[in-house]
Amino acid sequence: MDKALKPYVAEAIGTFALCFIGAGSICIAQLMEGKVTNAGLVGIALAHGCVLAVMISAMGHISGGHFNPAVTLGALVGGKISNEKAGWYLASQLLGGVVAGMLLRLVFTESVWKPVHLGTPGLGAGVTVGTGILVELVLTFFLVLVVYGTAIDDRGTWKAIGGFGIGFTVLCDILMGGPLTGASMNPARTFGPGLAAGYWDNHIVYWIGPLAGGALAGLVYGRFLIKP
């Protein structure tokens, strides 16, 4: 039983770390607004990319280091995980995100977290729901494609650096998509802080876009590119 639980615990911890550090970095940017120590978009991108890189490196051998329902769906579409295991991964990821959101609400005062909705991603000015879904789809497609190429495909020799390849993809995605959608690429990353903050604006964007992008990557790489 303990062995069966380990991947789910790893998924919860990894998702917790991503949400706590990622959403927390947005709260810190708000806290330090106007001060020279505020790194802004670059700092937020680095926080997300670096924490994901190290957590995948630390936990990848236990669970595969998904930490993201969109990655799990991509693996499911590509035939790399069972339906039952995927369901438990999803539950573990959402739990990790919710715990992170609740703890962040205890860490920061309301005057800090409320203006940024506890780090919950949101659409930029002038960005429609349709555009937001498209951006999240494309960004997540890149992410899950890199997960396949560096962490799932056994033909390569890249697993030792897979975490950093995936982390750098998230970093690049945020640098481009952050001002547009927040570049969530991860329903759990949005759901956890969103639940704690009570912020649900355009929430559908952060389910449809990432899950569609992950599924598309699972089809392209898992069903086509991965085959010899």
Asked if pLDDT for residue 159 goes beyond 70, the answer is no
Burial of 112 (0-12, 13-18, 19+ CB in 10 A): middle
Query: Can you list the domains of the chain with their CATH numbers?
Result: 2-225 (1.20.1080.10)
Cα angle, residue 45 at apex, residues 147 and 25 outer, rounded to 5°: 120
Contacting residues for 49 by C-beta, under 8 A, at least 6 apart: 167, 168, 169, 170, 171, 172, 174
- Confidence (pLDDT) at 36: 45
Query: Whose CA is closest to 14, among 60, 61, 67?
Result: 67
Which band of pLDDT confidence, cut at 50, 70 and 90, is reported for residue 162?
confident
DSSP codes, 63-119? H----SHHHHHHHHHTTSS-HHHHHHHHHHHHHHHHHHHHHHHHHS-HHHHGGGGGG
- Beta carbons within 10 angstroms of residue 2's beta carbon: 6
Query: Whose CA is closest to 194, among 118, 99, 92?
Result: 118
- Beta carbons within 10 angstroms of residue 208's beta carbon: 17
Q: Is 38 helix (H, G, I), strand (E, B) or coil?
A: coil
Asked if pLDDT for residue 45 goes beyond 70, the answer is yes
| pTM, entire model | 0.94
Do 152 and 66 touch, CB atoms closer than 8 A? no
Exposure class string for 94-104: b at 16+ Cβ within 10 A, else e = bbbbbbbbebb
Do 144 and 74 touch, CB atoms closer than 8 A? yes
Q: Is the dihedral of CA 201, 34, 97, 151 positive or negative?
A: positive
DSSP codes, 12-23? HHHHHHHHHHHH
Asked if pLDDT for residue 103 goes beyond 70, the answer is yes
Asked if pLDDT for residue 122 goes beyond 70, the answer is yes
Which band of pLDDT confidence, cut at 50, 70 and 90, is reported for residue 132?
very high
Mean pLDDT in residue range 130-152: 96
Name which residue leads in pLDDT, 205 or 4. Answer: 205
Do 197 and 118 touch, CB atoms closer than 8 A? yes
